[in-house]
Structure formats: structure tokens, C-alpha cells
Structure 1
Amino acid sequence: MKHAKAMLTQAVADRQNIFSLLKPLATRILSALKASGVSDKTVDSVRSLNRKIQGRRASSVKMKPAEENAEETPKRTISVSQQSFDNQVEHLLQIIAILEIQPLYQPNEGDLKIDALRNYALRLQDANQIVIKATTAQVNALAARDAVLYSEHTGMVDIALNVKKYVQSVFGTNSSEYKRISSFIFRNNV
């Protein structure tokens, strides 16, 4: 169980580290694309995907001044964030697909070249899959622990409760043997 938790903690930290590079990289890709002289429509497509990676809307939500809506309940907005790790990888892959068909996109920087971007996208996918597998292992370890502790009749908690009842029946409620164990509290989680 501790091993599964440690693996999950490490996998989450590794994923966080590799994904922390994505937002600045996406902005650099957009800047390199603008500098390459491609069409405005292509730049707009990549700009839209960059916005999704950055977690920004195309246009901000309009808020009324405080005096006007003081008595009204605030209007709820629908989240348009596409910030899941899977979505972020998908947006990067869409950017790469656009770049692949742009002959003018020829950056000098190694990390902005298409092969490097593909490699980075694979590393992002791998990091995310490792977290998913580690989460599954952690959930399975918790389920196994719960089965050992809380299974009806055979779980450690039920056995401990039955031992307390047995000691009470053999030695009595006022016995020193029972008093020593009566303070132990066991609860079934199920």
C-alpha cells in the first residue's frame, strides 16, 4: 500500500514537472509561427489552440458593475476550460498537425522543431499514462486493504470485535482482562 502511494506521488510530481513546460512552449510555438510568415488563418487556428492550452477564453465573460447587480444573484457561467491533461496533449497534437503542413514553419530552435514537439507530446502522454496506472494500483491496494480490514466475519475489525465479546463472556465485564481491551475501539467502514 505504501509502495503504491509512493509510486502515485512520484508519478504525479513527474507529470506536473513535464506539463509545466507546455504553456510557455505553446506560446513560443505561436510566436515562431507568426514569425515564419504563414497565413493569418493558420495563426488564428494555432492561437485558438494556444488559448485552450493556457486556459483562457477567446473573449472574457462580461461582468456588470457592482452597483447594478448588488441585489441580483450573480449569473452562473459555464466553464469552458479544457485543461485536463488529456485535453492539453490533444491540443498540442492539433498544433503539431497544423505545423506539419506548413512549409514556412522552419524554426531554428531545436525544441520548436516538429520532431522535438512530437517527442515532447509522447513524453506528455507517457507521463499521464503512468499516473493513470499508478492511480489504478493505489485504488486496488486500498480495496485489498479494505477487504482485509472490513470483510464481514473474516475481516480484522470483525475478528477484533468478536474477541472483545469473547473476553467479556469468559472473564466478565468487570474483569481486568476485559477492562484492558474494552477501551480499544474498532469500527467497520463498510
Structure 2
Amino acid sequence: MSKQYETGNAKNVADLQKLIEQVTVYTAYNPPVDNLKIVNLNTLYINSLNAVTEVEEKRNANKNAIHTRQQAYLNLKSTSTRIINQLEILGLSEGVLAQAKSLNNLIQGSKKKKKEVDEETGEESKTVSTSRQSYTQLADNFSKILQLLATIPTYNPNLEELKLVNLIAYHTTLVESTKNVDITEAVLNTKLIERNNILYKSGTGLYTIAQNVKKYVKSIYGATSPEYSNISKIKFTSS
């Protein structure tokens, strides 16, 4: 969502307050429609302001969760490589070591090319990258390395951060960081829907009601009146 769009939401709310302040001093302003009455306009303003504020709060929470996840994953590649270095001195079978290195390559982003064969000609055609680099996939591949380590009795490094129990704790941190991103994003999306309904829902949203306030003022004072001229300058944007 663009920064301009977010600024437009806040401006609509601020302009609603300006509109309310203006029509409040109009002695003839006494609309027959409930949602145009001053008391209900004030309620709409408060609800709109709260909705916009909550969206920004939840957006910041989501940004913080994203930053926390980025920090959590910073050492993943180097940690994975250090694990491989430990395994290389243990005299493991080529198969076990190759399996560990293959998982490490996926974490590092090494791109092995998988060949495809043209069904008609039988010739090798384009290649497809098998790099898996999403956060979830990175954590999954790291988990597979840890599962492999659990089957190797001789894996017992002196460094605390490379001990299996601490690697498992680190993996939990990785998984939880992505979970928090997903949770905060879901909450943000819910608040965005709520805000958009309050501001832009047809018939009951801020935008529609603001336009109706202007129409009502024009109907009682006239299109060329200074009263209408004052509020016609207050611009609102639709979603």
C-alpha cells in the first residue's frame, strides 16, 4: 500500500474534523438524516481516527516483527557452514556428509540446475533453479540438518553455540520469528479491513457521509452561498 494512500486516509479524517467544526456553527444545520447530525459526525470522526491510528500501530508491530526475523536469520548461513566444518573432521561416510552438504547448499542459496528433457525430441532443454530461499524453507532445511546431527553420535563440538541443544533452540527462534510475522500481518490485515469499512464503505463510510453533508448544506444555503463555499473547499478522496 502506497505512502500516498496512507497519507490520504489521515487527511480524510483530519478534513472530517474541519468539516464538523464548520457546520457546527451553521445555525440552519439540522439534517433530517441521523448520520449527518453533529453528534453522529463526531462519533464517526472518533471511530475513523481510532481506525487509522490502530492500522499504523499494527503496521509498526508487523515491521518490528519483520526486522526481528531478519536479525534472527543473520547468522543462519554461517552457522550452517560451521556445522559442516565440524562434520568434515569426524570421518563420516561420504553419504552422510554429502547429505549434510546438500542441505547446507540449499541454505546458502547455491543453485543446482535441474535438467529437463523435451518430451518430443528427447533432448535436454531449459534448466530450473532448485534454490529454496524463503524463510520457512530455510528453517525447514536447517531443521533437517539438525535431524541429521541427532543421528551422529560423534557430533559433540566444544563450542556452546554449535551444540545440538543450542542449535535446536536457535531453530525454535527462527520458526517463532516467522510465526510472529504471520500473526502481526494477519492482525494488520484485519485492521485494514475495519478502517476501510469505516472510511469508505458505500452509504455509511466517512467519504459518503462527508459528501452528503456538503449536499445538505448546499440544499439549505444554496450553491452560491458563502456557507457552502467554505465547506466545498474541503476535499475528500475515495479509496
Provide the rounded CA distance (Å) in 1 between the counterparts of 2:162 and 2:80: 9
| Structure 2 counterpart of 1:184, one-letter code | I
The normalised TM-score by structure 2 is: 0.69
Higher strand share: 2
- Map residues 144-183 of structure 1 onto 2, 5 A cutoff: 144-183=194-233
Q: Give the equivalent residue in structure 2 for 1:8.
A: 62
Provide the rounded CA distance (Å) in 1 between the counterparts of 2:105 and 2:166: 21
Asked whether the equivalents of residues 38 and 105 of structure 1 are also in contact (C-alpha less than 8 Å), the reply is no
Asked whether the equivalents of residues 214 and 231 of structure 2 are also in contact (C-alpha less than 8 Å), the reply is yes
Q: Any gaps of 5 or more consecutive residues in structure 1?
A: 62-74
Provide the rounded CA distance (Å) in 2 between the counterparts of 1:6 and 1:12: 10
Deviation at 1:167, TM superposition (A): 1.3
How many percent of aligned residue pairs carry the same amino acid?
A: 32
From 158, 161, 168, the counterpart of 1:108: 158
Q: Give the equivalent residue in structure 1 for 2:95.
A: 41
How many residue pairs match? The answer is 176
Deviation at 1:60, TM superposition (A): 10
- 1:59–1:36 Cα change, 3 Å: farther
Q: Give the equivalent residue in structure 2 for 1:91.
A: 141
Q: Give the equivalent residue in structure 1 for 2:104.
A: 50
Asked whether the equivalents of residues 148 and 156 of structure 1 are also in contact (C-alpha less than 8 Å), the reply is yes
Asked whether the equivalents of residues 111 and 129 of structure 2 are also in contact (C-alpha less than 8 Å), the reply is no
Deviation at 1:78, TM superposition (A): 4.0
- Map residues 110-129 of structure 1 onto 2, 5 A cutoff: 110-129=160-179
The normalised TM-score by structure 1 is: 0.86
Q: How big is the alpha-carbon RMSD for the aligned residues of Structure 1 and Structure 2?
A: 1.9
Deviation at 1:2, TM superposition (A): 2.3
Asked whether the equivalents of residues 46 and 95 of structure 1 are also in contact (C-alpha less than 8 Å), the reply is yes
| Partner deviation per Cα, 1:134-167 (whole Å, 9 max, x = no partner) | 0011111111111110112111111001111111
| Partner deviation per Cα, 1:87-139 (whole Å, 9 max, x = no partner) | 11100110001111011222111111111111111111111111110001111
| 2:68 is aligned with 1:18 | no
Asked whether the equivalents of residues 38 and 104 of structure 1 are also in contact (C-alpha less than 8 Å), the reply is no
Provide the rounded CA distance (Å) in 2 between the counterparts of 1:76 and 1:141: 45
- 1:79–1:184 Cα change, 3 Å: farther
| Partner deviation per Cα, 1:46-85 (whole Å, 9 max, x = no partner) | 1111111111113599xxxxxxxxxxxxx98644331111
Asked whether the equivalents of residues 57 and 80 of structure 1 are also in contact (C-alpha less than 8 Å), the reply is yes
| Structure 1 counterpart of 2:222, one-letter code | G
Rg (Cα) greater in structure: 2
